[in-house]
């Protein structure tokens, strides 16, 4: 942007899942990039309330696809989470295939 002078500062910006990534980058910046001067974080529409998100979209095709990805991702990241605890038997198999 012509005329912009941030004096070596940066702002991390993201939307939706990028909003979550922006939040995480802002939290972790000092640990992985201490030479980067993060002046701020702009997180637009991060999916931070997953229960509410699932409740709002669970009967839509979008909701079913996103839920499948998230159930599998959480099951792989957290040993106490089992995707079958959140999805039916048929949905569990389909979710694994989709993920």
Per-residue pLDDT of 31-61, as tens digits, reads 999 999 999 999 998 888 877 887 888 788 8
Nearest-angstrom CA–CA distance, 30 and 87: 38
* pLDDT bracket for residue 87 (50, 70, 90): confident
pLDDT of residue 82: 82
Q: Is 81 helix (H, G, I), strand (E, B) or coil?
A: coil
DSSP 16-68: THHHHHHHHHHHHHHHH-TTSEEEEEEEES----HHHHHHHHTTSHHHHHHHH
The values of phi and psi at residue 6, to 5°, are -95, 0
Say if residues 30 and 39 touch (Cβ distance below 8 Å).
no
pLDDT of residue 91: 75
Say if residues 95 and 87 touch (Cβ distance below 8 Å).
yes
Domain boundaries, the chain: 9-44, 50-98
Kindly report the pTM of this predicted structure: 0.58
Reading the block at residue 62, the tokens are 């979008």
Per-residue pLDDT of 55-83, as tens digits, reads 888 788 888 777 777 888 888 889 998 87
pLDDT of residue 37: 92
């Amino acid at each position: 942007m012509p005329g912009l002078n941030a004096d070596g500062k940066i702002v991390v910006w993201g939307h939706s899942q990028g909003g979550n990534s922006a939040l995480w980058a802002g939290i972790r910046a000092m640990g992985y990039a201490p030479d980067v001067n993060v002046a701020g974080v702009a997180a637009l529409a991060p999916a931070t309330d997953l229960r509410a998100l699932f409740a709002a979209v669970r009967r839509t095709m979008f909701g079913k696809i996103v839920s499948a990805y998230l159930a599998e991702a959480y099951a792989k990241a957290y040993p106490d989470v089992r995707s079958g605890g959140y999805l039916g038997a048929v949905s569990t198999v389909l979710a694994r295939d989709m993920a």
